[in-house]
Chain A
Amino acid sequence: MTFEELERRAQHEWQALKESSVPLIQVGTATCGRSAGASAVVDALREALQKEAVPALIMEVGCIGLCFAEPLVTIHKPGRPAICYGHVNPERATQLVSEYLLKDNPLSDWALGTVGEGSVEGIPELFQIPVLKPQVRRILRNCGFIDPTNILHYVAQGGYTGLARALGMERQQIIDEIRRAGLRGRGGAGFPTWRKWQFCLEAPGEPKYVVCNADEGDPGAFMNRSLLESDPHSVLEGLLIDGYTIGAREGYIYCRAEYPLALERLHIALAQMREHGLVGENILGSGFSFDIHIKEGAGAFVCGEETALIASIEGRRGMPRPRPPFPATSGLWGRPTVINNVETLAGVSLILQKGAEWFAQYGSEKSKGTKTFALVGKVKRAGLIEVPLGITLREIVYGIGGGILGDKRFKAVQTGGPSGGCLPESLLDSPVDYESLTAAGSIMGSGGMVVMDEDTCMVDVARYFLDFTQKESCGECVPCRLGTKQMIDILTDITAGKGRVGDVELLQEVALAVKKGSLCGLGQTAPNPVLTTIRYFRDEYEAHEQGRCPSKVCKALIRYRIVPDKCKGCQICSRACPVGAISGERRQVHTIDAVKCIRCGVCLEVCPARFGAVECVTGQ
């Protein structure tokens, strides 16, 4: 089949779907949707359709990224714009069938917005609601709107035209196109993609390899998983273009085994590519032959580091090695290898489909295009977002995220996963691009963005992230293995009220030594949470040294007490206390035994608000 025939078939199928005489119900069943109960929603929809004998089509799609409103259901009724519903549970799903499909009542209270031409009274346009309006959805354009297990859906959106175009270009022309687009590595380091490709193209040695790094390991980050589950072909197309450009015949996708759905959808996508001649011998009759292997990672965080990833593919223990030589000259099996992140490859597909100028429309001078982030933590609207680079943190946290949960005070935002830095309120107006984040002591990272409110203790946060990187260190190089342990021991002491004079200076010293001395990116960035919290929240460290935890988080530094004037002796707290630390007769003022108390805070939670007799105090 030629590509034109494939495109015709795809258009035909897509058109038929759009013009279908029966309603189309799309349910977001990526992992995020499933964990919110989307599978039960699909079952409920099927059952209701059967019971009411309503002809309709159910399609499982990926994730739009509105995690806060999962599970999401989008219903396309013929002749009307599609309506996207949030927080759908099985009962609501049944009602949607009986009310909207049968009676034409759109249940606008549950609707998030409409998609497509036309309007429905009382429902805004989906892409105009506050969480989506500031976003520019390019990488994620298909996510939640196409069937990720159907290659024709991707092709119908212009998919694989980038590959078809690339196959007619000179290799150098492709690299120049990527260079003009200004694409930089989305895995975190921001190295210009074209330069990596150029090095590999010029490197002597055959065969060459391309590798897609889908070993997303940052806690709270799910950009790559979501993209692979929702639109796997956009990544695979990029991998093919990558392979063609540097002259490789084989490519690997290194995806962690903890992403079973992403792996399943990759396997399906690959089988469909094979069926349509998009992978294998003589792709699209161009003479270019290329095969893709899917390698499952066993879950080591450090395997996201490119040299450790290579070791892992080769069957060795996933441990980084010093660079140079860089993988572009000596990578997989010692051959020239390009390793690109999932999102980078999706960007490559877009650049070849739409052109470098189109891609570079958005972004700042040195950071072009859009970037996806997993916006999580104490924001009202958590989710997977895509924004133009150069947008401010404030626009993300307050515009898209809707501000802080419970309208509490913003304290910090951490970018770049466990190795990123914690940026304070004073930096909220700085732009999100590679240079600005690095200057602020953080990193772009792969796109994790954790928002923290006033109830977060920054010393405890630093300890938490260090605990992660310390456990995930490969243990090979001295500064990382022992330095992260030393920092965590000091931080644990500080949060336990056992800090010593000079600990903050010692922390800084060890952190700098680890940053400067470590072998790989894990160790070089692991001290960032410590260094940035000291830089921006030093007062909290000092408070801990004086025995106070200002956020009242560190258990060793807080205690609960009952205010005698307010206590009515209702015994609610004494009954709720799990360790029997509260004593007091009925209608008598209660007291908390500080020795028995485990500082769980249950008494504070259960004390009726009208009394407010329990308080948490810190310090002397």
Chain B
Amino acid sequence: MKTLSLTIDGVAVTAREGMSVLECALEAGIYIPHLCHHPDLKPVGVCRLCLVEIAGRGMTISCKTPVEEGMVVRTESPDIELARRVAVELLIVNHHADCLSCAKDGACKLQEIARHVGIEEERLQRLRRTTSTLPVDSSNPFFLRDPNRCVLCGICVRTCEEIVGASAIDYAFRGYATVISTLGNRPIVQSRCESCGECVARCPVGALVPRQERNPAREVRSICAYCGVGCGLYLGVRGNQVVRVRGAAESPVNRGRLCVKGRYGHAYIGHPERLTTPLIRRDGRFVEATWEEALDLVATRLAGYRGDQFAALTSARCTNEENYLLQKFTRAVMGTHNIDHCARL
């Protein structure tokens, strides 16, 4: 790929062709405030915060401007300062600023931007504040949607469309009344939402937050046990308890993405009713047994069957290799083609 050289704030940087000025700056360690940009998504340029000045072209947004050889970029100027500061101030006065009780406190992009731009309480006082409070959508068992904290960056909408392919949410209404909503403005649980939580994982503010998640003390890299896909994940652990799961971006299988089960269905791990040993029915009751006992029993009983007397049904929770072995066993050992899989049902 072609390498290009450009100057950002007097610093010579190199970039790969096709990168945006914003990506190039961030990679070079030069911060430009941005809210609607997300590396996994196509740029849309709606937050209007990543303004830069490009010599010969004037002010423009950096997330939608491709780098060019010899480009001279400035990230600060009086015009940029005015447009950006006013936009940030407006975002803040229209935002429910109860930071301490917000799940995103400390990891909030709006806080990060506010710190960069520099907010003066005196200036905020001059602006008119909204007093409206919209209802929080708590219909989903896994996450909350709080429109009062939403900055309408559209990352959730684009995630749902570009990454998940569900398109369960979109912008609705116009002007100041604009919100992110479902078809017919119904609770999210009645929409096409699959509760995968990809939007929750990307929300830059506290508008989409998990319901039962606590910050872990440490993380353990693991593989999701739900199905044969084998998504890489990090189990967030406190003591011996899993309190959070997040996708492992470096996993080539899922590239950080998870489904509803992998992300939110981790309560079974420490559940008291979880089976931890095989059970054998004896006198009509299940009795705990060792793996040796269980496998011996199965092997003994199977010896009494051959050919079409036998059929095997495998599970999507098995890996490919395990499924392969079972079909091999069915055909070669049991002598039948009666092999099927639950994913076909």
Query: Are B175 and A485 interface neighbours, CB within 8 A?
Result: yes
Query: Are B90 and A506 interface neighbours, CB within 8 A?
Result: no
Query: Are A502 and B126 interface neighbours, CB within 8 A?
Result: yes
Complex CA–CA separation, A571 to B197 (angstroms)? 71
Known contacts: A475-B176, A481-B176, A509-B86. The answer to whether A322 contacts B51 by CB under 8 A is no
Query: Are A470 and B171 interface neighbours, CB within 8 A?
Result: no
Complex CA–CA separation, A478 to B45 (angstroms)? 10
Complex CA–CA separation, A272 to B82 (angstroms)? 55
Q: How many residues belonging to A are interface residues under a CB distance threshold of 8 Å?
A: 38
CB distance from A527 to the nearest CB of B (A): 11
User: Which residue of chain B is the closest to A467 with respect to CB atoms?
Assistant: B175
| B94 CB–A CB distance under 8 Å | yes
Contact of B46 among A302, A477, A489 (CB under 8 A): A477
CB distance from A584 to the nearest CB of B (A): 41
Known contacts: A478-B46, A478-B91, A479-B87. The answer to whether A484 contacts B82 by CB under 8 A is no
Query: Are A483 and B86 interface neighbours, CB within 8 A?
Result: yes
Interface size class of B (residues with CB under 8 A): 35 or more
Complex CA–CA separation, A512 to B84 (angstroms)? 11
Q: Chain B interface mostly helix, strand, loop or mixed?
A: mixed
Query: Are A481 and B45 interface neighbours, CB within 8 A?
Result: no
Enumerate chain B residues within 8 angstroms of A356, measured Cβ to Cβ. none
Complex CA–CA separation, A176 to B173 (angstroms)? 44
Query: Are A519 and B86 interface neighbours, CB within 8 A?
Result: no
Enumerate chain A residues within 8 angstroms of B79, measured Cβ to Cβ. 516
Residues 439-486 of A at the B interface (beta carbon under 8 Å): 470-479, 481-486
Query: Are B82 and A476 interface neighbours, CB within 8 A?
Result: no
Query: Are A473 and B90 interface neighbours, CB within 8 A?
Result: no
| B232 CB–A CB distance under 8 Å | no
Known contacts: A322-B61, A478-B90, A485-B175. The answer to whether A513 contacts B82 by CB under 8 A is yes
Enumerate chain A residues within 8 angstroms of B47, measured Cβ to Cβ. 477-478
Complex CA–CA separation, A133 to B259 (angstroms)? 72
| A177 CB–B CB distance under 8 Å | no
| A319 CB–B CB distance under 8 Å | yes
What 1/0 flags go to A487-508 for Cβ under 8 Å of B? 0011001000000101000100
Complex CA–CA separation, A493 to B129 (angstroms)? 12
What 1/0 flags go to B33-70 for Cβ under 8 Å of A? 00100000000111111010000000101001000000
Enumerate chain A residues within 8 angstroms of B86, measured Cβ to Cβ. 479, 483, 509-510, 513-514, 517
Complex CA–CA separation, A516 to B85 (angstroms)? 12
Contact of B82 among A474, A486, A509 (CB under 8 A): A509
Query: Are A470 and B176 interface neighbours, CB within 8 A?
Result: yes
Complex CA–CA separation, A473 to B84 (angstroms)? 19
Query: Are B176 and A322 interface neighbours, CB within 8 A?
Result: no
Enumerate chain B residues within 8 angstroms of A489, measured Cβ to Cβ. 128
Complex CA–CA separation, A502 to B127 (angstroms)? 11
| B225 CB–A CB distance under 8 Å | no
Known contacts: A516-B79, A517-B86. The answer to whether A478 contacts B176 by CB under 8 A is no
User: Which residue of chain B is the closest to A321 with respect to CB atoms?
Assistant: B44
Complex CA–CA separation, A293 to B128 (angstroms)? 46
Enumerate chain B residues within 8 angstroms of A471, measured Cβ to Cβ. 174-175
- Among the interface residues A302, A477, A512, which one has the most CB atoms of the partner chain B within 10 A? A477
Complex CA–CA separation, A475 to B35 (angstroms)? 15
Complex CA–CA separation, A86 to B48 (angstroms)? 52
CB distance from A102 to the nearest CB of B (A): 57
Complex CA–CA separation, A500 to B122 (angstroms)? 14
| B340 CB–A CB distance under 8 Å | no
| A89 CB–B CB distance under 8 Å | no
Known contacts: A479-B87, A481-B175, A519-B45. The answer to whether A322 contacts B64 by CB under 8 A is yes
User: Which residue of chain A is the closest to B82 with respect to CB atoms?
Assistant: A513
User: Which residue of chain A is the closest to B151 with respect to CB atoms?
Assistant: A478
Complex CA–CA separation, A476 to B152 (angstroms)? 7
| B177 CB–A CB distance under 8 Å | yes
CB distance from A184 to the nearest CB of B (A): 22
| B204 CB–A CB distance under 8 Å | no
Enumerate chain A residues within 8 angstroms of B93, measured Cβ to Cβ. 486
| B146 CB–A CB distance under 8 Å | no
Known contacts: A475-B176, A475-B177, A481-B175. The answer to whether A486 contacts B90 by CB under 8 A is yes
| B154 CB–A CB distance under 8 Å | yes
Query: Are A482 and B173 interface neighbours, CB within 8 A?
Result: no
| A181 CB–B CB distance under 8 Å | no
| A269 CB–B CB distance under 8 Å | no
Contact of B128 among A472, A479, A486, A502 (CB under 8 A): A486
Query: Are A475 and B84 interface neighbours, CB within 8 A?
Result: no
| A300 CB–B CB distance under 8 Å | yes
Complex CA–CA separation, A481 to B175 (angstroms)? 5
What 1/0 flags go to A373-386 for Cβ under 8 Å of B? 00000000000000
Complex CA–CA separation, A322 to B154 (angstroms)? 15
| B277 CB–A CB distance under 8 Å | no
Residues 513-529 of A at the B interface (beta carbon under 8 Å): 513-514, 516-519
| A317 CB–B CB distance under 8 Å | yes
| B185 CB–A CB distance under 8 Å | no
CB distance from A439 to the nearest CB of B (A): 18
CB distance from A498 to the nearest CB of B (A): 10
Enumerate chain A residues within 8 angstroms of B171, measured Cβ to Cβ. 317, 319, 474-476
Query: Are A474 and B45 interface neighbours, CB within 8 A?
Result: no
User: Which residue of chain B is the closest to A300 with respect to CB atoms?
Assistant: B174
| B222 CB–A CB distance under 8 Å | no
Complex CA–CA separation, A224 to B130 (angstroms)? 38
Query: Are B128 and A476 interface neighbours, CB within 8 A?
Result: no
Enumerate chain B residues within 8 angstroms of A472, measured Cβ to Cβ. 174-175
Enumerate chain B residues within 8 angstroms of A324, measured Cβ to Cβ. 64
Enumerate chain A residues within 8 angstroms of B127, measured Cβ to Cβ. 486, 506
Contact of B48 among A473, A479, A485, A502 (CB under 8 A): A479
Complex CA–CA separation, A516 to B84 (angstroms)? 10
Known contacts: A477-B46, A490-B128, A519-B45. The answer to whether A482 contacts B94 by CB under 8 A is yes
Contact of B126 among A317, A477, A500, A518 (CB under 8 A): A500
| B260 CB–A CB distance under 8 Å | no
Query: Are B64 and A481 interface neighbours, CB within 8 A?
Result: no
CB distance from B279 to the nearest CB of A (A): 55
Query: Are A475 and B175 interface neighbours, CB within 8 A?
Result: yes
Contact of B178 among A476, A486, A502, A513 (CB under 8 A): A476
Query: Are A317 and B170 interface neighbours, CB within 8 A?
Result: yes
| B83 CB–A CB distance under 8 Å | yes
Enumerate chain B residues within 8 angstroms of A502, measured Cβ to Cβ. 126
CB distance from A165 to the nearest CB of B (A): 39
What 1/0 flags go to B15-49 for Cβ under 8 Å of A? 00000000000000000000100000000111111
Contact of B154 among A300, A302, A476, A483 (CB under 8 A): A476
CB distance from B302 to the nearest CB of A (A): 57
Enumerate chain B residues within 8 angstroms of A519, measured Cβ to Cβ. 45-46, 48
What 1/0 flags go to B125-160 for Cβ under 8 Å of A? 011101000000000000000000001101000000
Given A481-B176, A506-B127, output 4 extra A-B contacts at Cβ < 8 Å: A477-B48, A478-B91, A479-B87, A481-B152
Sampled A-B contacts (20; CB under 8 Å): A473-B175, A473-B178, A475-B171, A476-B152, A478-B90, A478-B91, A478-B151, A481-B178, A482-B176, A484-B176, A485-B94, A486-B93, A486-B127, A506-B127, A509-B82, A512-B82, A513-B82, A513-B85, A513-B86, A513-B87
**Which residues of B are interface residues toward A (Cβ below 8 A)?**
35, 44-49, 51, 59, 61, 64, 79, 82-87, 90-91, 93-94, 126-128, 130, 151-152, 154, 170-171, 173-178
**Which residues of A are interface residues toward B (Cβ below 8 A)?**
300, 302, 317, 319, 321-322, 324, 470-479, 481-486, 489-490, 493, 500, 502, 506, 509-510, 512-514, 516-519
Shortest 8 CB-CB contacts between residues of A and residues of B: A475-B178, A513-B86, A517-B83, A489-B128, A482-B90, A322-B45, A485-B176, A473-B175
